Amino acid sequence: MPLFPREKRSIRIFIALIVLHVVLLSFQVPMGTEPAFMEKAVFAVFTPIQHGAVAVIRFLGRMWRTYFYFYHVQRQNQDMRQDIFNLRQENAELRRSLERFQAREEMRLFLSQIQRSIRIASVISLDPVNYRKALIIDQGRLAGVAKDMVVLDRYGHLVGRIIEPISLTESTVQLITDQSSGVGVLIQGDKGVGVLAGDGTGGCVLKYILGTAQGIAVGDTVLTSGYDRIYPLGLPVGTITSVGGNGTLFKTIAVKPYFDFNALDLLAVIVLPEEKAAGRRPEP
Amino acid sequence: MRDAVRAAAGLAAALVVHTLLSKAVPSWTPLFHVFLLVVLFAALLRGELFGAVMGTCCGLVVDTLSLGVFGLAGLSMTLIGYLAGLAAKRINVLSLFRNFLFLFIMTALEFILWNLLAALLVGQPPAGARTLLARPLATSLLGALVFGAFRRIQKRHGK
Q: Which CATH superfamily is domain A183-261 in?
A: Rod shape-determining protein MreC, domain 2 (2.40.10.350)
Q: What is the DSSP letter of A184?
A: E
CA distances from B24 to A28, A125, B61 (A): 33, 10, 21
Distance CA A70, CA A6 (A): 61
The SS3 of residue B157 is coil
Using one digit for the tens of pLDDT, what is the confidence trace for B13-33? 998 898 888 888 887 888 889
B100 neighbors B141 (Cβ within 8 angstroms): yes
Using one digit for the tens of pLDDT, what is the confidence trace for A20-73? 888 887 777 666 666 667 777 777 777 777 778 778 877 887 777 676 666 677
Mutant choice from A6, A49, A125, A262 vs B, greatest count of B C-beta within 10 A: A125
Could you list the beta-strand ranges (E) of chain A: 118-126, 134-137, 150-153, 158-166, 171-175, 183-187, 192-198, 204-207, 221-224, 236-244, 252-257, 266-270
A41: nearest CA partner in chain B: B64
Q: Enumerate residues 6+ apart whose C-beta is below 8 A from A100.
A: none
What's the predicted TM-score (pTM) here?
0.77
Which is nearest to B110 in space by CA: B39, B49, B23, B158? B39
In A146-257, alpha helices (H)? none
Distance CA A39, CA A61 (A): 32
Using one digit for the tens of pLDDT, what is the confidence trace for B41-51? 999 988 899 99
Q: Enumerate residues 6+ apart whose C-beta is below 8 A from A48.
A: A169
CA distances from A1 to A6, A7, A11, A13 (A): 11, 14, 18, 19
C-beta atoms of B52 and A13 within 8 A: yes
Distance CA A115, CA A273 (A): 13
> What is the least distance, in Å, from the CA of B148 to any CA of chain A?
25
Where in chain A do CATH 2.40.10.340 domains reside?
64-178+263-275
Which CATH code of 1.20.1740, 2.30.30, 1.10.20, 1.10.1760 fits the domain covering B2-156? 1.10.1760
> What is the least distance, in Å, from the CA of A137 to any CA of chain B?
11
Please list every residue in chain A whose beta carbon sits closer than 8 Å to the beta carbon of residue B125: 179, 200
A270 neighbors A233 (Cβ within 8 angstroms): no
Rg (C-alpha) for chain B, rounded Å, is 15
Mean pLDDT per 10-residue section of chain A, whose length is 284 residues: 65 88 77 69 78 80 71 78 80 76 70 75 85 88 90 89 83 91 90 89 89 87 90 91 83 92 85 56 45
Distance CA B125, CA A119 (A): 35
> What is the least distance, in Å, from the CA of B20 to any CA of chain A?
8
Question: Which amino acid, A195?
Answer: V
Which CATH code of 3.10.20.30, 3.40.30.10, 2.70.70.10, 2.40.10.340 fits the domain covering A64-178+263-275? 2.40.10.340
C-beta atoms of A24 and B18 within 8 A: no
Where in chain A do CATH 2.40.10.350 domains reside?
183-261
Please tell me the predicted confidence (pLDDT) of residue A284.
40
Distance CA B99, CA B37 (A): 12
CA B66 to chain centre: 16
ipTM over 0.90: no
